Structure 1
């Protein structure tokens, strides 16, 4: 689990080979090159959440693979399709209520959402474990206002095999305006890192 100090984050501009994978209508680019994250993905974990190794990965446009295709029902009852959100940067954040690093990063993710929601950046929370009541309680506790979907079956994480480790919670993915994965953080993300990654995509 994450200790009292935020791990050093090193930006890796690694080459990820794109392959198609799908589950529950989600089609995602898979990681082809081996790095510390793919090694974690291969080894697996059973502790329920991951602190990550402090590594941020950002991809140049030529290495971003295929767009993410996903749709479903948000916690507020509205339906969504990521194809309708193209033209915007998308921050995809995986969390659940009892995850300590998720709770630690929650206010920073919400702060980034509020800073960028009117600047062409959308956010989607993916709750990987809770029912609606627990998820809504968490959202009230941390004053979360960005859209959230429930994925208690873990199919979104499964669809990200090779991009995220099996127990990759919390994790944050950034999609470019074409819907392609442009960056990832496994483990807790802080406001400075998240805003920096968003800023890189906006330039």
Structure 2
């Protein structure tokens, strides 16, 4: 079996016109971009999101590294609440219908990704910091099975992850915002809407700021 090549941080490049290197925050207010984000799932897979195309194909190869770019979505322009279900590695079923009133952090990852390894302790630290504020963290593992459990044990990850090896959750998320890279991190507001996205390795201070804003109702 062909072993998929894994990108490294040095391979990272901007992947979408709305992203900018480093800590760039852009409000998606233009009608053209809103038209793209409003496209149906399969149209989005076909035209604008190579990662979603791979999820649709189900071939689990050549996942794309992001550059750490940040996009915030204006509250008035956010898509409807995210509707997903998944299963944690312990068999627990997760349903987004139970997230009402809580800020949610979703992190797409896989064990062999160098950026995923770098950001794991950052995510764990933020999870512990925001847990008292009723913020929930979920990993969405796009490739692994046994390796995912070993990864969580090695890096001391205590927040749960859902298995998405078949790409179903990743594909469903294109209705709301294209993830476009692994790792990617999404912050959902208390209404379950995508409030912010980080493509690639998440900077801890920036992610903290995004979560803080969502908790405050921003």
User: Equivalent residue for 1:80?
Assistant: 94
Structure 1 residues 77 and 21, CA gap change in structure 2 (3 angstroms): farther
Segment of structure 1 superposing worse, 38-47 or 143-152: 38-47
Cα deviations by residue, 1:103-162 (Å, 9 ceiling, x for unpaired)? 11111011110100111211111000001x211100001100001110101122222337
The structure where strand makes up a greater share of residues is 1
CA distance in 2, matches of 1:142, 1:65: 34
CA distance in 1, matches of 2:23, 2:77: 21
In the alignment, structure 1 residue 191 sits paired with structure 2 residue 204 = yes
User: Equivalent residue for 1:128?
Assistant: 142
TM-fit CA distance, 1:86: 1.2
2:27–2:72 CA contact under 8 A, matched in 1: yes
Q: Aligned-pair RMSD on alpha carbons?
A: 2.9
The structure where helix makes up a greater share of residues is 2
Structure 1 residues 22 and 42, CA gap change in structure 2 (3 angstroms): closer
TM-fit CA distance, 1:68: 0.6
Q: Size of the alignment, in residue pairs? A: 187
Structure 1 residues 9 and 44, CA gap change in structure 2 (3 angstroms): farther
2:52–2:178 CA contact under 8 A, matched in 1: no
Structure 1 residue runs without a partner (length 5+):
24-29, 31-37
In the alignment, structure 1 residue 19 sits paired with structure 2 residue 38 = yes
CA distance in 2, matches of 1:12, 1:80: 31
CA distance in 2, matches of 1:65, 1:105: 27
CA distance in 2, matches of 1:50, 1:161: 16
Structure 1 residues 195 and 165, CA gap change in structure 2 (3 angstroms): closer
